[in-house]
Amino acid sequence: MTNFAKPSYPRPDDAGRYNPEFVVPSGIYHQPVESGHWQLQDCLVCPEKRHELYGFNNNAIYKYNTRTRHVDTITSKYSFIPVSLNIGFDHAVITGNRGELSVINLHSKVGKSVRMGATINNCIGFSHDPLYMTPQEQRNTTPHLLVSSNDRSIRILSFPDLVPMGKITMPQAVNHTAVSPDGRLMVTVSDDDTVKVFDIRGSTYTMVQTLNTGHQASYSCNWNRLSDQFAVATAQGYVDVYDIRFPRKLAQIRSTELEKYINVVDTRNFEEVQRIRVGEDRDPITGVTFSPDGSTLYAGMRHRILEYDVNTLDRCRFGTTSLA
């Protein structure tokens, strides 16, 4: 990931509706969420239960229960600065800024650490149990760990034993990789103006499409639940939305602030945006995540966690059944 100059952010389009109430504040928890890199702000995860969050504090992983306010320390303090976190298959995985990669079992607290390259590993993701496989086929597969790195590669490792299974070489530093929920496709973004789409069925990784964003670089990407649309966050303050069925942008969302706001966008029309000021000069945003059921939004900060309830009743009144 290249440290690009901070962009001059565009103002909102007057034609769009701003500040509808999609989410409402519901809690403040004085639990820190630290980030080891100013551009990597994915340090808060809510993988399974609505009230259980995982994050970083003092170079260690913790689990926080918002109901009981109990903190369970998952790991002791790491010797390196963690920059990325993911939770899956009963394990926590973290990366560091000099190629460090560590995995730990959430129950036994037994872990393994290796070094993958010498540069920062920007993102870690999983590929397993695609929906198109039968249960028998799924039992015969093993999870893959996808490590996106500044050394212009995506490493494919078995999980949780971290045995190298393959490596995809890219033209630029790889900032983020996301696998579709149905397990068929993977998108990846880099320090260039393209988004690359891979077919990953059968444990192969074949590039099938390259899309041009028209922006200097992109930092992250993610899919909707139907696996037919994905979004890309760019270095210029835009979020581009693509429909995988058509090789073009479905929408372009313009951010309005750099560090202190969260924009909640209605993905049924991409016109209505709720802007929420959450950050302060000394308490920047370090992670944003939804609960698995989509009912709660959490914003991690350096000194606290903010909770918002999603206004699901109002969404159900919208005149369409196409939900992203």
Interval 62-78: pLDDT, tens: 999 999 999 999 998 88
- What average pLDDT does the structure give for the chain? 85
CA contacts within 13 A on the Cβ side of 59? 8
Among 173-177, 205-209, 229-233, 318-322, which stretch is predicted with the lowest mean pLDDT?
A: 318-322
Position 254 confidence tier, pLDDT thresholds 50, 70, 90:
confident
Of residues 229 and 203, the one with the higher pLDDT is 229
Pairing of strands 272-277, 17-18: parallel
Question: How big is the chain by its Cα radius of gyration, in Å?
Answer: 19
**280's tokens:** 């302060």
Q: Which of 1-10, 60-69, 194-203, 246-255 has the lowest mean pLDDT?
A: 1-10
Residue 101 has pLDDT above 70, yes or no: yes
Rounded average pLDDT over 124-142: 66
- Please tell me whether residue 16 adopts helix, strand or coil conformation: coil
| DSSP H or E run through 139 | helix 135-139
Residue 6 has pLDDT above 70, yes or no: no
Which residues partner with 111 through β-bridges?
A: 104
- CA–chain centroid gap for 289, Å, is 8
The two three-digit tokens of residue 215, written as one number: 């922006």
Higher-scoring residue by pLDDT: 135, 35: 35
Pairing of strands 23-29, 305-310: antiparallel
Q: Alpha-carbon distance 170 to 154, whole Å?
A: 8
Looking at the chain, the whole-number percentage of residues with pLDDT higher than 90 is 58
pTM for this prediction: 0.85
> Taking 70 as the threshold, does the pLDDT of residue 2 lie above it?
no
Residue 95: is its pLDDT beyond 60? yes
Q: How far is C-alpha 5 from the geometric centre of its chain's CA atoms?
A: 22
pLDDT of 315 above 80: no
pLDDT exceeds cutoff 50 at 321: no
Span 164-183, pLDDT tens digits: 999 999 999 999 999 999 88
- Which domains are delineated in the chain? 42-255 (2.130.10.10)
Q: Which residues contact 266 (CB under 8 A, 6 or more apart)?
A: 20, 22, 272, 273, 318
Confirm if 198 and 205 have CB atoms less than 8 A apart.
Answer: yes
Q: 118 falls in which pLDDT band (50, 70, 90)?
A: confident
What confidence tier does 320 reach under pLDDT thresholds 50, 70, 90?
very low
At 14, is the pLDDT very low, low, confident or very high (cuts 50, 70, 90)? very low
What residue spans of 30-71 are helical by DSSP H? none
